[in-house]
Amino acid sequence: MENKVTFRNAERKDTGLILQFVKELAAYEDMSDDVIADESILETWIFDKQKAEVLFAVVDGTEVGFALFFHNFLGRAGLYLEDLFVMPEYRGKGYGKALLKKLASIAVERGCGRFEWVCLDWNKPSIDFYLSLGAEPQADWTIYRMSGDTLTKFAE
């Protein structure tokens, strides 16, 4: 790593910064139109309802990356990484790996049985990176999703 990285948990005052990272990740993934979050939504779900946590990677006093995660469950809690993003100018310096290692240590400290995330099929640089860490793709699983009107109508 070029400079020492430290980590800090997000606080309520960081809501705008979290939104900035979410939007930058969405732009990278060509999914900006899918972002429905605003500061109020993030504040409610992360800080009021405590349904997710955010960890920042900090270098020389600057937040250079973030991870948004929560727990899932399959007989034993797991740590699920929803979003991971390192600012482009800080990539290739080990900060993404450091974030993942920190999350892995959180999972171990909390007694989680696994650490999981998804990656877009076209994102070869990230896939290669994850494979280099020893992560294994779960080819037997397909993600299914209901959202918007479909979710609302199905719930009725």
Q: Which residues of 121-142 are buried (b: 16+ CB within 10 A; e: fewer)?
A: eeeeebeebbeeeeeeeeeeee
Catalytic annotation present for 130: yes
32 Rama class: left (phi>0) / alpha (psi -120 to 50) / beta? alpha
Catalytic residue among 28, 80, 95, 130: 130
Q: Which residues of 31-67 are buried (b: 16+ CB within 10 A; e: fewer)?
A: eeeeeebeeeebbeebbeeeebbbbbbbbeeebbbbb
> Active-site residue numbers?
130
